[in-house]
Structure 1
Amino acid sequence: MKRALKKMLKIIGIITLVFVVLLTLLVVKIVRTPMVPNDYTQTVVTGGDIEAKYLAMGNYEVKYKEEKTTEVLKKYEVYYPEELEQSERKYPVVVFVNGTGVYGSKYKALFKHLSSWGFIVLGNEDPGTWSGESADKTLEYIIKENSNKDSIFHNRVDLDNIGISGHSQGGVGVFNAITENNHSDLYKTAVALSPTHEEAAIKLNIPYDLTKIKIPTMLIAGTGNFETQMVIPLESMKTMYEKINAPKVMMRKAGHEHGDMLYAADGYVTAWFMWQLQDDEEASKAFIGDNAEIEGNELYQNQSLNIFED
């Protein structure tokens, strides 16, 4: 009896050990797996020439720099055009706000792509970003670097052309970063990717006020089941869009789930920032004019534009 019991306990111990090892390997895989595929610029399907152009990599070689910071943010992550180190010009900035529990280091391909179009792209490791405070601190970091004579970013930051983007809870962080924080007035434009809708945000105690938005803002979501049932139902998205009293764009990319929206519409996200922060006339044609590309792009649904054109 004792021998059988010992044998059974040994088997249970082995099974438990195998389970722990497999669980550990799974966690390690999840931690190491990027949220954005490294090859997404080659695999995402586009429905227009402008979308395709700005989904491709830009002409700038990209370099990376990081600096340790607080226990919560862990580090500031900066992607920038390599030529910045030898240039006399200033470069526009885009701050990225993380989704729930997803660190900036999981978005490497996304950051590198945008930087290849001539942007300084900033991230951090904050897992809870809804208040916009970590975005504010990250922006404050690059502002200080711009004034630091010993920094490679000294006098290289275009403080008149700063944008912000974020996904999911990070979309909520975008709304609060541009309305409720110390440096809110420095942002020139914003993109919210699949932001948590208002009612859910209130229930989760991560509220925001869209009526306070004063800058051009683009809302993008997908049409997948989880996306439309839990994160941002279409009617909720329409209500959110209506509350924004500033130049604005809304659209949904068909057939894409919540996680996909980090990068599935990146051609238009990049075009938006190229237009808003670099005055790129070709990029602007995706959003303005009689034949704005997004209106005729069959890969998208529920497009609405109110740009306040002169």
Structure 2
Amino acid sequence: MSNKTVLSGRRPRNGARAALTSLALIVAAATGVTPAAAAPYRPAAPLEATYHAPGPWVVAQRTGVDCCTSTGDSYDIWYPADLGAGGVVHPVITWGNGTMAHPREYAYLLSHLASWGFVVIAADRTDTGTGAQMLDAVRYLSDQNGDPNSVFHNKIDTDAAGATGHSQGGLGAINALTRGGGLVDTAVTLEMPMAAACASLPTVDGQSACIDPTAVTSGSVLLVNGTADGISPATQALPPEVIGLQSMQAYYDAMPAGVPKARAAVVGAHHNDVQGQPDCTNFGCTEGVHRYLGYLTAWFMDRLRGDQVARGAFLAGTGELLHNPHWSDQASTITR
């Protein structure tokens, strides 16, 4: 994103990223990938192109200034620099990092969302699967909305919040939706791991990171994975009764029929593509972040800002996402 204003409360971190955990190593073993530069990406359809482009808001960032979650973690926040211009109140998107990852590794994606008018908040925590810190982040911004001394005072739409995250953070997004008592309205998962992997993740304050899709009884859900991601498969050969919920298809099917939901897989993408910023040079990345931008943004524009044009991307049967050649394994229950 260009024209970014940055407010930092701690020194920038330099050097190599932290070592990947066993979860990421499973992915590497399954795919045998090495870092590679991705070719420039061009959206394949009009709605994708619209929301793939940067939004109309210049983006500001607060790094390590805001604190703290219930477990003592600070927040990084991306938000429209001209908060509240024209009387706008801004919906919230709370982000969950993948295992051993930090918000800075997703800065390109999170800044893109903020450019479309969202306040995007990420707890700087490396195990986000329970959703607890993601819910803390929503509550934090709600408190800031009521604080006359805060830059966010009266600028937050406290009735519109979404949750999204990568890998373990995808589990956190679903858990924030089901455990938040209505605090979160919609969840998007990016490369969420199959059930066999979630059992190895640590509990936080006695809560498990594993999800119960049958507990999604309100809100809406978008499940996104990559076709080359061995830990987040789109489909499974054996039925869930035999091997459990080991695919996005199984998670999707287990959610109640009345829940608005959709799923799709980015063709060729591996586990860490959402971390491309913007070039695909991180470990396990082949396609880069660009393929995720358009429809992730469109989903939140529909679900949190009532954008009927954006909803057209997800309509069952006719939705643009369901026919985009850059995606596969699509399904949707979204209606007008």
What interval of TM-score do these two structures reach, taking the shorter chain for normalisation?
Answer: 0.7 to 0.9
Runs of 4+ with >6 A deviation: none
In structure 2, distance between residues paired with 1:252 and 1:141: 33
Aligned residue for 2:255? 244
Cα deviation, residue 69, structure 1 = 2.9
Aligned residue runs from structure 1 range 1-80, under 5 A:
28-30=15-17, 43-65=40-62, 66-69=65-68, 74-80=73-79
Counterpart residue number, 1:297: 324
Structure 2 residue runs of 5 or longer lacking an equivalent are 1-13, 19-36, 203-208, 237-246, 276-288
Aligned 8 A contact 1:222 1:261 in 2 = no
Structure 1 pair 233/273, CA: closer, same or farther in 2 (3 Å)?
closer
**After alignment, is 55-64 or 69-78 more displaced?**
69-78
**Number of aligned pairs?**
270
Once the 2 structures are TM-superposed, how far is the Cα of residue 233 of structure 1 from its aligned partner? 5.1
* Closer/same/farther in 2, CA of residues 233 and 281 from structure 1, 3 Å limit: closer
1:86 and 1:287 mapped to 2: Cα distance?
A: 30
- Return the offset for 1:286: 0.6
The reply on whether 1:279 has 2:266 as its aligned counterpart is no
2:212 is equivalent to residue 209 of structure 1: yes
Relative to structure 1, is the Cα distance of residues 219 and 157 closer, same or farther in structure 2, using a 3 angstrom cutoff? same
CA distance in 1, matches of 2:307, 2:250: 30
What's the secondary structure of 1:250's corresponding residue?
Answer: strand
Q: Does the 8 A contact of 2:233 with 2:248 survive in 1?
A: yes
CA contact (8 A) 1:251 1:303 kept: yes
| Aligned counterparts of 1:260 and 1:88: Cα–Cα separation in 2 | 36
Task: Tell me the equivalent position of 1:260.
Answer: 273
CA distance in 2, matches of 1:131, 1:117: 27
Report which of the two has the higher share of helix. Answer: 1
Runs of at least 5 residues in structure 1 that lack an aligned partner in the other structure: 1-26, 32-38
Distance verdict in 2 for CA 1:202–1:30, change over 3 Å = closer
Structure 2 equivalent of residue 112 of structure 1: 111
Q: Write the distance in 2 (CA, Å) between the matches of 1:287 and 1:208.
A: 24
**SS in structure 2 at match of 1:171:** helix
Q: Tell me if structure 1 keeps the 8 A contact 2:190–2:225.
A: yes
1:174 aligns to what? 173
C-alpha contact (below 8 Å) 1:111/1:121 kept by paired residues: yes
Shift of 1:168: 0.3
**Cα deviation digits, residues 284-306 of structure 1 (max 9, x gap):** 11112763101211111110011
TM-score, scaled to structure 1? 0.81
Task: Call closer, same or farther: CA 1:301–1:144 in 2, change over 3 Å.
Answer: same
SS state of the match for residue 211, structure 1?
Answer: helix
In structure 1, C-alpha distance between the alignment counterparts of 2:41 and 2:142, rounded to whole Å = 34
RMSD of equivalent CA atoms: 2.3
1:95 aligns to 2:74 (yes or no): no
Going from structure 1 to structure 2, the CA distance change for 1:43 and 1:164 (only over 3 Å counts) comes to farther
Secondary structure at the aligned position of 2:148 is classed as coil
Q: Which amino acid aligns with 1:200?
A: A
What is the CA–CA distance in structure 2 between the aligned matches of 1:95 and 1:284, rounded to whole Å? 21
Contact 1:195-1:232 within 8 A present in 2 as well: no
Residue in 2 that maps onto 1:14? none
Contact 1:75 1:124 in 2 (8 A): yes
Whole-angstrom CA distance in 2 between matches of 1:282 and 1:83: 25
